[in-house]
Structure 1
Amino acid sequence: MTTAPETTPRERAARGLLRAFGIEAQRVARAPARVNLIGEHTDYNEGFAMPCAIDRDTVVAAAPRADDIVEVLACDLGESRGRFRVGDAADVSNSPQWLRYVQGMVAVLKAQGLPIGGAQLAIAGNVPQGAGLSSSASLELAVGQALSALNGWQLPPAAMALAGQRAENVYAGCRCGVLDQMSCAFGVAGHALLLDCRSLDVQPIALPAGTAVLVIDSKIQRGLVDSEYNLRRQQCEAAAAGLGVKALRDVSDSLWSRCGGALDGVVRRRARHIISDSQRCELMAAAMQRGDLREMGRLMRESHWSMRDDFEITVPAIDALAALVQDVVGDVGGARMTGGGFGGCVIALAPQDAVEDVRAAVATSYRSPDGRKAEVHVCAASGGAGVLA
């Protein structure tokens, strides 16, 4: 008898749990990936960002144990397994990187006084790893939702997002802001999110009708912990201190014109990107509400140039890919690198009738430095993390 293919993350996770632990899933949780339309590295500077959750998910199938042991199966990592005690979750010194996200969520939620019992978890997903689509935040929130469902408590979306951020900061070693986790927690189908990274206010804004969201995986993998992400954060903090403000969010045009020139040249460029990209987010929201795809495209192009020249987080192949897509889309859409930098994906917003032209141009004219073709994903804006029926 032929077994049906395991076509979805939900099916793979449920079957993985049964295969590895001999038990049916009692709860299944999912969290989406996200793509950032504009506003890169603005989150930890307390500025604005404009992400949207997308229809690529991490799914956790879960069942309780009677003791305090957590056993984890990573279905997409060669059936890798991890095992730890709830009380020892904070000790990640000997854990592989993927397991640290799981342990981090257990440790953070337990430290908040929430009851966490033993569990068996199987994880599966269709989020490209290392592509800048926030596979880590998707994992954190899917684990958090599974633990919530197993243990009979709930957290508001913002609180779950902050728990995920702390798990990543403390236990996975990346000093990310809260953009990724908030995007995964608050996603609204068909909408982008204007996120105020200081107040954590979220304003859903409908994408213009007929707009395609294209996520183009460059096949240049990057790891935030091993990249210069943390250095960029230190440079932004130095700029804020030099300007006498709490965060770069607080730099007015007049303060910048008076004092920006006194900063070290590299630090000044880093700050200029943050200040301008945060402003572009608000302009992008207004253009999106008007349905002005031309203005949205202009802002995306400027954002890419700012990341390339001032923040210096792009790489030549990514620059070439963004320019290639922009040439196809023309002035009725935009393309830019998305994510923490040094590889990953290009995001493009374009009319639906441009999709096949983009596919053809990328297939013909782009190769990664090691000779691989890019992968073009046509995505839809998705709802946020939760427990599946």
Structure 2
Amino acid sequence: MKPSQSIVSRAPGRVCLFGEHQDYLSLPVIAAAIDRHIRMTATPISEQILQIEMPDVGQQREIPLDSPFDTLEKRDYFGSAIRVLRRRGFSLPHGYRIVVTGNIPINAGASSSSAMVVALLRLLHELAFPGKILDREELANLAFQTEVLEHNEPGGMMDQFTISLGNVVHINTENFTFSTLCESLNGLVLANSGIKKDT
């Protein structure tokens, strides 16, 4: 990759149309990706770090490439994503500046965290394995591992599957088969009340 080259990854938020929290119980759900996204842009740097910038929330972070992540801070999805991908041979020859932006409301039930995880995994995979296609279902499973299993959190797989697959999907969460119902729901309006959800 040339020094000036950037890689961009983005992932949508989602809304649940039928079966909110039913994926926890292995029951079917219908959910849709929305036209609000988390976007990540990675640019090569000479330092052996991931330099994370999140201007929307006024946060920055530096992650040395050799960080072991033997333990994880609560909801440290950068750490858990790296742990999950290392099991697949993930490594980087040099550091990157990663700028994270988005227009998904935070803590509003539109899955901004899951969108960030999916965008991050797609980005890191492309940086480590350029040109190697990551299947959407495989991406969803990696996102579930990163967001839920690595942190021993309760949760189903509706968010990760809907965001990774896109479109409007019916998911049988008992055996995690899925089908695309349609590409979009024209005329659907999603409003943000501004009231933070408590989960």
Task: Report the TM-score, using the length of structure 2 for normalisation.
Answer: 0.85
Are 1:162 and 2:141 an aligned pair?
yes
What residue in structure 1 maps to residue 110 of structure 2?
A: 133
- Number of the residue aligned with 1:213: 188
| Secondary structure at 2:90 match in 1 | coil
Query: Aligned pair in 2 of structure 1 residues 45, 58: CA closer, same or farther (>3 Å)?
Result: same
Deviation of the 1:208 alpha carbon? 9.0
2:34 matched to which residue of 1? 54
In 2: Cα distance, 1:68 partner to 1:200 partner: 39
> Could you tell me how far apart the structure 2 residues matched to 1:141 and 1:62 are?
15
1:125 Cα deviation from its structure 2 partner:
0.1
2:52 aligns with one of 72, 75, 81:
72
Which secondary structure does the structure 2 equivalent of 1:216 belong to? coil
Query: Who is 2:86 aligned against?
Result: 110
**How much has 1:66 moved relative to structure 2?**
5.0
Identity %: 24
Deviation at 1:175, TM superposition (A): 2.1
Q: Is the 8 A contact 2:85 2:125 kept in 1?
A: no
Q: Supply the distance in 1 between the matched residues of 2:124 and 2:188 (Cα, whole angstroms).
A: 32
Higher helix share: 1
Q: Structure 1: which 5+ residue stretches go unaligned?
A: 1-22, 225-389
Secondary structure of 2:147's partner? helix
Aligned partners of 1:77 and 1:83: how far apart in 2?
Answer: 16
Q: Residues 110 and 208 of structure 1: is their aligned pair in 2 closer, same or farther, counting only changes over 3 Å?
A: closer
Larger Rg belongs to: 1
2:170 aligned with 1:194, yes or no?
A: yes
- TM (norm. structure 1) is 0.46
Alpha-carbon contact 1:104-1:170 (below 8 Å) kept: no
Task: State the partner residue of 1:350.
Answer: none
C-alpha distance in 2 between matches for 1:148 and 1:43? 27
**CA gap 1:159/1:89 in 2 versus in 1, 3 angstroms:** farther
Matches within 5 A, 1:315-354: none
Q: Which has the higher contact order (CA 8 A, sep 6+)?
A: 2
Distance 1:67 1:44, change over 3 A: farther
1:63 and 2:63 matched: no
Give the conservation status (yes or no) of the 8 Å contact 1:76–1:125.
yes
Measure the CA separation in 1 of the matches of 2:49 and 2:184: 48
Query: Where do residues 281-320 of structure 1 align in structure 2 (5 Å cutoff)?
Result: none
Specify every segment of 5 or more residues in structure 2 that has no aligned partner in the other structure, as ranges. Answer: none
Query: Which of 119, 140, 146 matches 2:123?
Result: 146
Distance 1:54 1:89 in 2: 35
The structure richer in strand per residue is 2
* Aligned counterparts of 1:89 and 1:62: Cα–Cα separation in 2: 22
Alignment match, 1:101: 77
Alignment equivalent of 2:18, drawn from 23, 38, 43: 38
What is the RMSD of the two structures over their aligned residues, measured on CA atoms? 2.4
